[in-house]
Amino acid sequence: MPEANEIQAYVDQRWSESIVPALKDYIRIPNKSPAFDPDWETAGHMQMAVELLSEWAAASPLKGFSQEIVTLPGRTPVLFAEVAATSGTDDPDAPTVLLYGHYDKQPEFDGWEDGLGPWIPVERDGKLYGRGGADDGYALFGSLTAIEALQQQGIPHPRCVILIEGCEESGSFDLPVYVEHLRERIGNTRLVICLDAECGNYEQLWVTTSLRGMLPGVLKVEILSEGQHSGAAGGIVPSSFRIVRRLLERVENSATGDLHHSLYGDIPRHIRLAAQEVADVLGEGIIDRFPWVDGAHPEDPDLPDLVLRNTWHPSLATVGVDGAPAIANAGNTLRPGTAVKLVFRLPPDIIAEEAARSIKETLEDDPPHGARVEFELESPQTGWSAPEEESWLADALARASNDYFGKPVMHAGIGGTIPFMKMLGDAYPETQFFVTGVLGPKSNAHGPNEFLHIDTARRLTSCVAEVLAAAAVEYES
């Protein structure tokens, strides 16, 4: 097994001298995901970002390493890299570890502190601020550096394939095409390592056991063909916004936050026990990690229940509104229509396509006042629940957390969605998963002041090295 001090020393040096400077250059590129930049191909930012990653990878000191940018027509490019097993086997069925990440980014969002911004890399107090550093630009750098650290120490590793996509923040709609295109080159996947998840704190290794699904869509309500004076029409023509409110009550109780019955599944007993463990470790940090305004609080202060509500219950967020002018430009006009972008998060065991049909029917059926109502669905994504860890992997994760964080490993579900995990779980039912990440308290992915906790990323890189070394032993036995 690796010598922890030597592995960490190599990783720390690479992060300080090479990775952080490269990530700063990456943060400067406004390569928003296709859902947020329909002209991404013409703009060229996506190509610039993937080329930056490719150039850094090309300079790696790895042995048995090759990499290329793979681009299919009309699709966001992927970076595909492979590192031959230390054993030198050329067996096409040799056990392979697939390391995954993405390089596309969420849009800017408002509210960044003075001196910070989405495309302005700022290193401050051990954190690297800017859009995409933690979600998920560091994945390629961490993956390759973990393998480098093993080679530098002469420690065997299995064949590794690194796949970095450019469409994750849009639901990964390009990824299935690439996975099929590269299936033979990916090979016999026995372990998937994903570095795009969360961590409950910055003090230990967190392994993700489940991901919620996602059901995004746009609810459109039209009541008039053109706007009317609010005094002349008020009392006769119902407000389109009021109709939106009535429709939303069909799928979400505004008083309790409870959602439509079709969105709930069964919560296994071991998940409830794990939620209690997470609550015991994090305590009030489950609540305090968010920037509440003074006096604000969640619906229910029960900590284990909050963990479950975030990981195995559905939730709904209204993330965008069209049809309403900014307040400074708001005249006394009853608007003809309102559109809202809705994002449902689904429990891991709910089939997204079935939920989509149920929600669409519920919203569109018997529209109030005969209004024109449409719910336009966008790429429903089913969640994922990890298979039980094999003993070698469980031991390696426990050892890695103790070696590099000095505390026990934690297992927890997270509230977000990574479509690739469900896709791989279906394609490779015998595959083991190590899903983890650096998105901890206050890191604020997708929002203002997003940051990468550098020390956690360094330690996590070393944990990946430990798991790769254990995989090599397992596959040779």
- For the four alpha carbons of 248, 253, 255 and 256, in that order, the dihedral sign comes to negative
d(CA 277, CA 165): 34
Burial environment of residue 97 by CB neighbours within 10 A (0 to 12, 13 to 18, 19 or more): buried
d(CA 153, CA 151): 5
- In this prediction the pTM is 0.91
pLDDT at 275: 95
d(CA 455, CA 239): 52
pLDDT digit string, tens, across residues 22-34: 999 999 999 999 9
| Helical spans, DSSP H, in 82-216 | 138-152, 175-181, 183-186
Stretches where the chain sits below pLDDT 50 are: none
Sequence-ordered list of residues with C-beta below 8 angstroms from that of 343, at least 6 positions apart, any chain:
214, 215, 216, 316, 317, 319
d(CA 133, CA 123): 11
Task: List beta partners, residue 433.
Answer: 192
Q: In sequence order, what DSSP letters do the residues of 185-224 get, joined into one string? A: HH-EEEEEEE--SB-S-SSS-EEEEEE-EEEEEEEEEE--
| Closest by CA position to 12, among listed 455, 464, 477, 473 | 455
Sorted by where each begins, the domain ranges of the chain are 4-211+384-476, 213-274+302-377
Sequence-ordered list of residues with C-beta below 8 angstroms from that of 429, at least 6 positions apart, any chain:
none
| Closest by CA position to 105, among listed 36, 20, 174, 179 | 36
Q: What architecture (CATH level 2) is domain 4-211+384-476?
A: 3-Layer(aba) Sandwich (3.40)
Sequence-ordered list of residues with C-beta below 8 angstroms from that of 33, at least 6 positions apart, any chain:
40, 104, 105, 106, 166, 167, 168, 169, 170
d(CA 367, CA 357): 17
d(CA 64, CA 115): 43
Domain 213-274+302-377 classified CATH 3.90.1150.10? no
Q: Which residue has the tokens 């859009």?
A: 131
d(CA 263, CA 346): 6
pLDDT at 1: 67
A 10 A CB-CB count for 287 gives 14
